[in-house]
Chains A and B, each alone.
Chain A
Amino acid sequence: MLVTIRQLEVKYGSQTALRIDTPVSFEKGERIGIIGSNGAGKSTLIKALLGLIPYRGRVITNLKPEQMAVHMQFNEYVTTMSVKYIMETILDTKIAKNKELQELISFFEFESCLPKRFNALSGGQKQKFTIIMVMFQKAELTFYDEVTSGLDFETRQRLTEKLSQWYRDKEDTLVVVSHYYEELEQLASKLLILDKGRVIAFGEKQRLFRKYCGKVVLIMENNDKNRALSRNFPTLKSPEHLIALSCEDEAQEWKAMKALAENNVNFKRSNSDIEIMFMNARERFYAQQKVSSER
């Protein structure tokens, strides 16, 4: 066990920002995605794990702070020198003499940015700069907190693809916080779903999908015709512009697909849609809370 969180509580004034009652453990080599809306407690959890904010409860780990690397949501550096010097000082090496670092810089196509000052870099280049240094640290546990936030769609996709490629055959333990579901689909194998400072669900992505959505979901546009058609099938909570049909097994899936095909409905099939899984996990959590409070 790399890290175990027990009975963790973080308060900002009188407000509870995060409360974890059931133990949560991160194991070596796992890729954990932390997902939740704004104010869910995602960044608070990372800050607590890094010891940057006071908390009650226990974070059990043998890791020392230097064995953890973190890409914060906002990473700022001095603007009085080129990023090359900042990188060489922080990583305590010379780029010209370090093959491994050269490889990383080249992997992220960052060579032309080295002579520039940090304030002259674009949003994507700024993120790459921190990512390179975080990766080079080769820490036992690496946190990426909203690594692509504020970037345009294309840069976001390219950066996520790069991260995914880099870690593909490696055994690093990653904790990735993101608002973007597609990012977590690529980078995470386990999910920790947070909402309003509470843990909604934690586990393997596939297992959680199965638990909250079924075997497969069929997703189609939300219109009158599709709404009428979906009445014959179990539906899931989904974004307002979509309808999601839940299929528990192959027979149900075929039946639904046949009906959709016969009615000439365009649909998307998914067995890993994190957005729909997140919405249903949240709904079920609050429904259970309501039932237990009524008892």
Chain B
Amino acid sequence: MKKCSLSMVLYELRNINGNLMPHFFGIVFPNLMCLLIAQTVGSEMTEEMRREAVTSIMLTMTLVIPMAIMLIGYGALYALEIEKGIPLRMRLYGFGEKCEVPAKIAAHFILMTAALLIFGGFQAVVMKVQKPSAFALICLVVSLYLIGGIFLVIAHALANILKKFSLTFGVVMCLYFCMMILTGMMGMRTEQLPMALQKVARALPMTYVSNDFIDFWQSGSYNFMPFVQSFIFMGAIAGILLFLSGIRDG
């Protein structure tokens, strides 16, 4: 079996770029949403308060990037390939899962990085968000890549379990919107949700990024324990799904 190579990563990048859905949901949509929501921020506010509000919107919208690219983008792309039997065809040419999947992962992380850079540039130049402390910025970037990685595992496992594009796309879209509602990305704060849903929301790392990161964005301290626990919980869910997909594949 062949090993993962640069040409394979380039092939996967072309593969992603051939479908503009992740680009729209991962690049255009969060920037557009930030711009639109920022317009609604009260004009009576002081400039500093307005910038804080815009920064908070930016933190929430950043989460759309890993969700759109890794969960929806990867899930839809891989499920479509499985449904068509493309991984088997590639395996018969010597490109096994150990070659193809790392190339796909690398390509998706490259796209996510590009999306984050565009988003970051747009937020700094156009939206004029508050300048973060180095610690807060590192926390955000690390969190986004971890969330992206977990979503990628979930998307891979779901595609492997469901085997059909329509089913996988339906499930990842449901997850996407549910998580957007739960983690405050749809405008409703987590505290406004019913108690049971608040508990579910607290098990998701996106909730903390969306609601709490603004508290230490420029300075201050933060208790990371519940945030780390939420990563462990979501990582465990992803691990279980991956294990189940392995069983499904025999």
Interface residues of A (CB under 8 A from B): 50, 52, 65-66, 69-70, 72, 74-81, 85-86, 88-90, 92, 133, 137
Contact = CB atoms under 8 A, between A and B. Distances in A.
B84 interface: yes
Given A65-B1, A66-B1, A89-B7, A81 B15 contact: yes
Contacts of B17: 80
Interface stretch (B87-95, B127-135, B182-190): B87-95
Contacts of A70: 92
Contact of B11 (A74, A79, A89, A137): A89
B86 interface: yes
Query: Majority SS of interface residues in chain A?
Result: loop
Contacts of B11: 81, 85-86, 89
Contact of A80 (B2, B15, B92): B15
A242 B10 CA distance: 58
A88 B94 CA distance: 14
A80 B86 contact: no
A81 B7 contact: no
B86 A81 contact: no
B233 to A, nearest CB: 35
A81 B18 contact: yes
Nearest to B90: A90
Given A66-B1, A90-B93, A133-B93, A76 B85 contact: yes
B86 A76 contact: yes
Interface in B7-24: 7-8, 10-11, 14-19
Contacts of A66: 1, 94
Nearest to A70: B92
Interface residues of B, number: 24
B7 A72 contact: no
Contacts of A88: 7
A52 B129 CA distance: 55
Contacts of A90: 90, 93, 95
A72 B92 CA distance: 9
Nearest to B92: A70
B74 to A, nearest CB: 14
Interface string B143-184: 000000000000000000000000000000000000000000
Interface in B70-125: 81, 84-86, 88-90, 92-95
B7 A76 contact: no
Given A70-B92, A78-B86, 13 more contacts: A72-B88, A72-B92, A80-B16, A80-B18, A80-B19, A81-B14, A85-B11, A88-B7, A89-B8, A90-B93, A92-B5, A92-B7, A133-B93
A183 B84 CA distance: 27
A80 B15 CA distance: 5
A76 B84 contact: yes
Shortest Cβ-Cβ A-B pairs, 3 listed:
A80-B18, A76-B84, A89-B11
Q: In this complex, which of A52, A70, A80 has the most chain B Cβ atoms within 10 angstroms of its Cβ?
A: A80
Given A89-B7, A92-B7, A74 B85 contact: yes
A45 to B, nearest CB: 16
B37 to A, nearest CB: 32
A86 B7 CA distance: 11
27 contacts: A50-B92, A52-B88, A65-B1, A65-B94, A66-B1, A66-B94, A72-B88, A72-B92, A74-B85, A76-B85, A76-B86, A77-B86, A77-B89, A78-B15, A78-B86, A80-B14, A80-B19, A81-B15, A85-B11, A86-B11, A88-B7, A89-B7, A89-B11, A90-B90, A90-B93, A92-B2, A137-B93
A74 B86 CA distance: 10
A78 B93 CA distance: 14
